[in-house]
Amino acid sequence: MKLHRLNRRVLLIALLFTAVTLFFFVLIGYDMTAAEGTAVSAEAGKTYTVSVEGTRGDILDVNGNYLVYNQSVNVLTFDYLEFPTEQQDRNVLIDRLIHCLASRNETWLDPLPLEFDETGTLRFKDKQATEIRRLKSADFLDVNDYATPQNCLDVLCEQYGLESYDPVTALQIASVCYGMQKEGFSAYRPYTFAEDVSIETVSYIKENSYMFRGVDGDVTSKRKYIGDGSIAAHILGMTGSISAEEYNEQKEKTDEALAAPDLTEDQAQKIKARSYTFNDTIGKSGIEAVMEEYLRGERGQKIVSVNKDGSSDVSYAYPPSQGNTVILTIDQHLQEIADASLKKRILEISEEQAESIAKGLTPAGAVVVQDVNTGAVLAASSYPNYSLTTYYDDYNELAQDPGKPLWNRAFQSAYSPGSTMKPVIAIAALEEGAIGLNEGIYCSGTYQYYDITFACFNNTEHGYVTVETALEHSCNIFFYEMAKRLGIDKMNKYATLFGLGEKTGLEVNEAKGILAGPKRRDELGLRWQSGETLLAAIGQSDNSFTPIQLCNYVATIANGGTRYVPYLVERVTSADLTKTLYEHKPKVAVNTNIAESTLQAVRYGMYLVANEGSCADTLGDLAYTVACKTGTAEKTRIIDGNIVEGTDGFLITFGPYEDAKIAITVVVENAGSGSSTAQVAADIYDYYFSTLNNDNTLQKQNTLLW
């Protein structure tokens, strides 16, 4: 009995003690909540190391003008140490923040590949196949490949506790939460919620921090482009979020570098500072991709120490550093002239060729300008063009445009060259002794080859023509005879010598093109017919060359027979231009060893075209004498089931004639004739000749100009 009473007494005391303890815990918790509004997210006294991204390097033109640079912009970020830890609290805060920005016409980052269209239908975003696969993967939603957009949203709502929100709001909040998860939001990695936010909005967020706990305003850099972002767009290229494939490729390189023997701690740290995370930006195309190694900045580290009162102190273990400066061979102003002139002429020709355009042939073309003595590309235009500034906003429209504005016609389009092929055939004929310098061939307007009758252009009868006058009049009959005397193998020997039908070695992507002949037909499983040799001599048959190949070819003729490797990168310096890290030295691809008398005869024939022939009205009165050769190539396309015919126009030219400095190639699709493209070259020459006596040497920063 006494034992029973004792047990009851012990039980009562224990219950009383538990009740008092719980009371004090509740009281303490209430006092903390009342004093601070919420519990501190991180442990007091703990230190966190946070990565800080380095700024990407600038890209300049050959004269030191900025083509791509970084501009400071305001961003809104989530600070893990202060941000709510409970998902429902996060949802409320994110929803409040979204409404705040929407009311101020500000945008926020929306990484989720889901959207409601104008009819209110949930769908996957266009052109985001990689992101859709990532969303469905085991790392995120872990759903089947055939899961619908609604299936994905349902899982997102369940995962982030969004069942009580309307679908539109739930999708907005889910997108932010998905971004936080994807980017590994933690004490070590803040999350960027919005970029390029007005200072007024940042100020409002800071002034009302009690409503936006853990949301902070910061300043970062954003890629900016000169003008409207269209200048040299195809050359400069784009940056974008790193893909899984790119990340894995870069990770392998990093792991390999870190595995090197005798690696010092400093060296290892530098490698890690340049390594990639799954959320990094990387060069996707053009110079941005080719020069990624130089342009990428180095990541820094800041140390955040949390004090007992929840406040934090920040210091840097080492600061981030900006990437290096890449200086191109491109002349900004020459590029602008080329862009504007090409566009103007194409639009003018489009009006003249309105019937063909109406049938579906799109107005398009390209220009390349090259230094004949180094191989440097001074300008390269492709039309239609696009803006790097609005690339991602415009992507769907650009991708569906029949004119293919994203395609770089200057380097990646291969065209049947027409009569621009004739100079190299003339060189082959003279070098192989198929004809003498002063020997003539009679042109009656037609040429009989076995049972086939070939005609000169418009059945014109030129009479006796030499190499020089055959080039001046672009006499087909002369070159048919040269083809018969030479044969396709010798013709192709010289075409190859001048780089036709081969990649030039340019840093960025380029097409190989096609050199007509038995080898090409064998690849297609077809037989080469002997009559094709005559057509190949006037730039027809399978011949197909890029504008950069044609420009490099005429540059080789102009400079005396040295074929250089074209290039776009002049040098790379440190961010402040004080230290040169790389400098391009002109590279000779081939010394053709063509006799000077041969080249002089061909150059003179081209002189006659520019000054007495079809281009005399346009090129004959320039400040300096120039030389050129025109070309036309007929093409037939099937558009919407209809056969549509058009004629591309070409011009290859160099100047000054007496001491060549630059070579130019102009291609205008559906131009009707080669001479109709000459105005583009004239505009480029006018600008270039006006600068011949100017010193355009790039000056280092903080130096005096004398």
- Which residue did the predictor score with more confidence, 130 or 261? 261
- Give the pLDDT confidence of 186-206 residue by residue, as tens digits: 877 889 999 889 989 988 998
CA gap 24, 29 in Å, rounded: 8
Cα three-residue angle 226-321-241, rounded to 5 degrees: 60
Rounded to 5 degrees, φ, ψ at 69 are -145, 180
Cα 636 from chain centroid (whole Å)? 30
CA gap 302, 310 in Å, rounded: 18
pLDDT of residue 31: 34
Token pair recorded at residue 536: 């190949």
Pairing of β 59-60 and β 325-328: parallel
Please tell me the chain's helix, strand, coil percentages from 3-state DSSP, rounded to the nearest 5. 40, 20, 40
Look at 15-19, 353-357, 479-483 and tell me which has the smallest mean pLDDT: 15-19
pLDDT at 344 over 80: yes
User: What is the mean predicted confidence (pLDDT) over 70-97?
Assistant: 92
pLDDT at 690 over 60: yes
- Quote the DSSP letter at residue 527: -
Token pair recorded at residue 219: 């300043």
Q: Which value, in Å, is the radius of gyration of the alpha carbons in the chain? A: 34
- Give the pLDDT confidence of 566-599 residue by residue, as tens digits: 999 999 999 999 999 999 999 999 999 999 999 9
User: What is the mean predicted confidence (pLDDT) over 692-702?
Assistant: 51
pLDDT at 452 over 80: yes
User: What is the mean predicted confidence (pLDDT) over 64-93?
Assistant: 92
CA distances from 567 to 259, 433, 633 (A): 34, 35, 28
Residue 99 lies in a domain: no
Cα three-residue angle 446-451-452, rounded to 5 degrees: 45
CA gap 471, 668 in Å, rounded: 21
Cα atoms found within 13 Å of the Cα of residue 252, Cβ hemisphere only: 5
User: What is the mean predicted confidence (pLDDT) over 170-188?
Assistant: 91
pLDDT interval class at 674 (50, 70, 90) = confident
pLDDT of residue 637: 67
Residue partners of 237: CB distance under 8 A and separation at least 6: 283, 284, 285, 286, 287, 288, 289, 290, 508
CB atoms closer than 10 angstroms to residue 251: 14
pLDDT at 405 over 60: yes
pLDDT of residue 39: 36
pLDDT of residue 396: 83
Positive or negative: CA dihedral 78, 81, 82, 87: positive
pLDDT interval class at 467 (50, 70, 90) = very high
Structural domain harbouring 2: 1-37
Burial class (CB in 10 A: 0-12, 13-18, 19+), 43: exposed
Question: Taking Cα atoms as reference points, which of 213, 287, 297, 296 lies closest to residue 36?
Answer: 213
pLDDT at 559 over 70: yes
User: What is the mean predicted confidence (pLDDT) over 388-396?
Assistant: 89
Assign 3-class secondary structure to 150-208: HHHHHHHHHHHCCCCCCHHHHHHHHHHHHHHHHCCCECCECEEEEECCCHHHHHHHHHC
pLDDT interval class at 3 (50, 70, 90) = very low
DSSP 294-335: HHPPBPEEEEEEE-TTS-EEEEEEE--BPPPEEEES--HHHH
Residue partners of 356: CB distance under 8 A and separation at least 6: 644, 645, 646, 670
> Taking a C-beta distance cutoff of 8 angstroms, is the pair 658, 23 a contact?
no
pLDDT of residue 18: 44
CA gap 358, 346 in Å, rounded: 15
Rounded to 5 degrees, φ, ψ at 122 are -75, 135
pLDDT at 488 over 50: yes
243-252, 446-455, 585-594: which has the highest mean pLDDT? 585-594
- Which residue did the predictor score with more confidence, 167 or 304? 167
pLDDT at 330 over 60: yes
pLDDT of residue 324: 96
Rounded to 5 degrees, φ, ψ at 671 are -75, -25
Q: Where are the beta strands (DSSP E) in 609-661?
A: 627-639, 642-655
- Which residue did the predictor score with more confidence, 471 or 638? 471
User: What is the mean predicted confidence (pLDDT) over 446-457?
Assistant: 91
- Which residue did the predictor score with more confidence, 393 or 502? 502
289 three-state secondary structure: helix
Residue 342 lies in a domain: yes
255 three-state secondary structure: helix
Residue 251 lies in a domain: no
> In what helix (H) or strand (E) does residue 497 lie, and over which residues does it extend?
helix 488-497
Cα atoms found within 13 Å of the Cα of residue 480, Cβ hemisphere only: 20
pLDDT interval class at 209 (50, 70, 90) = confident
Whether the upstream peptide bond of residue 167 has omega within 30° of 0, thus cis, is no
CA distances from 41 to 32, 78, 653 (A): 13, 12, 69
Rounded to 5 degrees, φ, ψ at 376 are -60, 135
Cα three-residue angle 163-169-173, rounded to 5 degrees: 80
CA distances from 119 to 115, 122, 123, 157, 346 (A): 11, 9, 11, 22, 39
Residue 559 lies in a domain: yes
pLDDT interval class at 244 (50, 70, 90) = confident
pLDDT interval class at 465 (50, 70, 90) = very high
pLDDT at 24 over 90: no
Q: Which long-range contacts (CB under 8 A, 24 or more apart) does 471-475 make?
A: 471/422, 471/423, 471/426, 471/602, 471/605, 471/606, 471/608, 471/609, 471/629, 472/605, 472/608, 472/609, 472/612, 472/613, 473/613, 474/419, 474/422, 474/609, 474/614, 474/629, 474/630, 475/441, 475/443
Token pair recorded at residue 119: 């009819």
pLDDT at 6 over 90: no
pLDDT of residue 301: 74
Percentage, residues of the chain above pLDDT 90:
67
pLDDT at 79 over 50: yes
pLDDT at 67 over 70: yes
pLDDT at 701 over 90: no
Cα 173 from chain centroid (whole Å)? 33
Q: What is the mean pLDDT of the chain?
A: 87
- Quote the DSSP letter at residue 587: -
Residue 133 lies in a domain: no
Q: Where are the beta strands (DSSP E) in 532-606?
A: 562-564, 569-573, 580-583, 588-591
> Taking a C-beta distance cutoff of 8 angstroms, is the pair 478, 465 a contact?
yes
pLDDT of residue 11: 42
pLDDT at 535 over 90: yes
Residue 585 lies in a domain: yes
- Give the pLDDT confidence of 131-155 residue by residue, as tens digits: 899 899 998 999 999 999 999 999 9
pLDDT at 414 over 70: yes
Burial class (CB in 10 A: 0-12, 13-18, 19+), 287: buried
72 three-state secondary structure: strand
66: alpha, beta or left, given left = phi > 0 and alpha = psi -120 to 50?
Answer: beta
Supply the CATH number for residue 351's domain: 3.40.710.10
> In what helix (H) or strand (E) does residue 443 lie, and over which residues does it extend?
strand 441-443
pLDDT of residue 189: 80
47-61, 257-271, 551-565, 642-656: which has the highest mean pLDDT? 551-565
Residue 467 lies in a domain: yes
pLDDT interval class at 102 (50, 70, 90) = very high
- Give the pLDDT confidence of 601-623 residue by residue, as tens digits: 999 999 999 999 999 999 999 99
- Quote the DSSP letter at residue 700: P
pLDDT interval class at 50 (50, 70, 90) = low
CB atoms closer than 10 angstroms to residue 691: 13
37-46, 349-358, 445-454: which has the highest mean pLDDT? 445-454
Look at 80-89, 117-126, 152-161, 344-353 and tell me which has the smallest mean pLDDT: 344-353
Residue 242 lies in a domain: no
- Which residue did the predictor score with more confidence, 701 or 383? 383
Tokens 């009311």 belong to which residue?
A: 103
Query: Which residues on adjacent β-strands are paired with residue 645?
Result: 636
> In what helix (H) or strand (E) does residue 369 lie, and over which residues does it extend?
strand 364-371
Number of independent structural domains in the chain: 2
> Taking a C-beta distance cutoff of 8 angstroms, is the pair 577, 700 a contact?
yes
